[in-house]
Amino acid sequence: MDGQELDSYGMVPPYGGMVIREENTGIWYSRGQVFCTTKEFDKAIACYDKALELSPDDPIAWRRKGFALLKAGRYGEAAASFDQALTIDPGDATTWQRKAYALSCLGEHEGAIACCDTALMLDPGYILAWQNRRWLFRTICRHGGAVIAANPDHGPAVWRQERIHEKIDLEALTSDIQEAEGLIEVPACIREVATERDYGNVGLARTVLRELVGRAEATPRP
């Protein structure tokens, strides 16, 4: 780094050796993107912080900062950054999904599933959210004893009863899909829940499917 000028963050400027001095949110945001690409996540975080000093109500900058924090292994801070983004724009499915990932890394699996549920209600075809939710449910199932022990009202008998209801719901989902085909293009991810007997996602798949059918029925036909 000899002979290279450093900026106030101790970074070598990525643009032709010139130090960026403009107080411009877009420039700092773009610079953060460059550092993410080169996997220099701490430097990216510093750039997003600068962008947020200038534009504290920018949900995309908060989301990108959260992403960089995730990559840096700072999961609690990442979840907080995603919360800031969602306070400004609660309708961003991507932010909900990334918050789910942060919470899962913190071991907060039930909260992570709730975030995936919200993401899927906003975007029923969001494949990554479906995949994350499936992984989270299987993780909880593998540690079912710990979940039961932590909740005395959720004993083995209740757990087995819930599994029975899920099997019944799976049959109902198959029927729902057949009925919905006359109104909408059923997302492949919902079909996969039925074909792969993904019990953990059956309830949500039925809810999302009903939402899609309801939207189609409410839309005036030409």
Domain boundaries, the chain: 1-90, 125-222
Supply the pLDDT for residue 186. 87
This prediction has a pTM of 0.65
Each residue's pLDDT tens digit, 121-150: 898 878 888 888 888 877 766 555 444 334
Give yes or no for residue 13 having a pLDDT over 80.
Answer: no
Supply the pLDDT for residue 171. 85
**What is the percent of the chain with per-residue pLDDT over 90, rounded to a whole number?**
39
Produce one character per residue of 141-169: b if its CB has 16 or more CB atoms within 10 Å, e if not.
eeeeeeeeeeeeeeeeeeeeeeeeebeeb
Q: Concatenate the DSSP letters of all residues of the chain into one string.
A: -TTPPP-TTS---TTTTPPP----HHHHHHHHHHHHHTT-HHHHHHHHHHHHHH-TT-HHHHHHHHHHHHHTT-HHHHHHHHHHHHHH-TT-HHHHHHHHHHHHHTT-HHHHHHHHHHHHHH-TT-HHHHHHHHHHHHHHHHTHHHHHHH-TTS-HHHHHHHHHHHHHHHHHHHHHHHHHTTTS---HHHHHHHHTT-GGGHHHHHHHHHHHHHHHHHSPP-
Each residue's pLDDT tens digit, 83-124: 999 999 999 999 999 999 999 999 898 899 899 989 988 988
Average pLDDT over residues 155-173: 66
What kind of fold does domain 1-90 have according to CATH? 1.25.40
